[in-house]
Structure 1
Amino acid sequence: MGYLKGSGFVMLSLPQSNVQPLQLLLKTSSNTVERLNASIEDLFIPETEEGPRVGPDLPLPDIRGEEEFDMGVAANVSFLQGLANFFNLKAAGKISYEQGKLVKIQLDAPLQNTINVVKLAGFIKSAKVNEDAGSFLDNLKKGEIYVITETIKAKSFHVENANSKQFGASVNVEIPSIANAAVDSHVAQKNNSDLAYSGTEPMTFALKAVRIRYSSGGFGPSKAKFTIESDKDLERVLLGEVNGVPMETTESYLNIIR
């Protein structure tokens, strides 16, 4: 396990350029969420406390943009194949299941974007729910809506061996323009253990999020209220659980639709 998953980040099944803190996610099934193209202040109206603000992109040490993959695990192979296909890397077909083989993805000059989670908790507790949110109010009360609190992104990355085994034959890696990111088209000659991508727009590779919880207040004088749960709940609910025990999240990836 590398830094990202070891630090509680959930990796996206495919990187995206339009995922950022304070955006809302709707759980649709295990491993899959829908991005609502809305932020927390579209769902909660400020009353006594302003909502948190997204901070600036902060540079991180390269080691904090690193993740390691066991190529004997089918989910990891599928992730890397999807990544290569998404960026139209010609070497995509050379990525295959191989017991005992480790590869590493390294985000070059990674950037962190985060919010003040304490301020988010206070805002949700004090704000008024937007009653015009329609059916999303039902999703909210069922605990199906999440708020992104932190992202890790980069403009470029490379995949390389993490052990002595060779990754495959020497390849040319061609980077064309793709639909959801402005990238430079170029051809990079790479050796037999390296695949690379370089673009002009940062792409989000991993995130943390909190779930909004609803309490009806019961039959006593206490009022209904909303609170947030920790980032770890994202792993348990979105990536699946069996009898209340989280699945092995190092083998799971979050699919964001829309």
Structure 2
Amino acid sequence: MSFNKITEQDSNYNHLEKMSLEELLININQEDQTVPFAIEKAIPQIKALVEQAVGNLKKGGRLFYIGSGTSGRLGIVDASECPPTFGVPHDLVIGIIAGGDSAIRQAVEFAEDSIEQGWKDLQAYHISNNDIVVGIAASGTTPYVIGALKKCNENKIITGCITCNQNSPLAQIAKYPIEVVVGPEFVTGSSRMKAGTAQKLVLNMISTSTMIQLGHVRGNKMVDMQLSNNKLVDRGIKMVMKELNLSENEAQKLLDKYQSVRLAIKNYRIEN
């Protein structure tokens, strides 16, 4: 099957340098508006991957994201937001980037070109077949990610991917591929734009739906969130006030005592 890298095709726009600032902003925005519709087509693929993630995490497994450059950074962002948002351990959702943590801030030249390094980086976490690994690569051709998923398959570890090209080498290797075809970028080949937006939105869907399925949301509230700053403490107080019909002072005392929205609500109901 032939592989056409749409993410590298010429932009639908030309002479960008001759556009006014307003034209640039309007045209970028128009392109961005196409992204959710591309994701909508991939919902069956996203559902299949999330079902596997939920099943594995219930068995004590972990969710890994692995990528390079923008894709790697997006995975790390999503992983790092799971503990404060859902109260889960820091090692439940793990983001890995080619070139190591220094590559989060500064590009590490040629880090993505190693076919062996991705698997080595996963092995540092004592990865097992309870875990699930999602490779993120807009192009679907990144050797670092492809090599990691190949070795995962050989070791019977469930694999998924998020890519923005159809029939890419990465999607053909992943057991549960997610392909969001957003078309050519506004600036030709700049896949941090629409492709990056698509990856971010899909990652939101994967982690949020997984955590809801695992019971970390009650109603529509983040009852397991970490109370790690004043904003989140204030949010927690309001949740307790609303859920138990208490005054702000009463809710604050409960939250101070139990240090958890879920436990504050649960214990109040037991005691009353």
Give the TM-score taking structure 2 as reference length.
0.21
Higher relative contact order (CA 8 A, sep 6+): 1
The structure in which a higher percent of residues are strand is 1
Give the TM-score taking structure 1 as reference length.
0.22
- Please say which structure displays the higher CA radius of gyration: 2
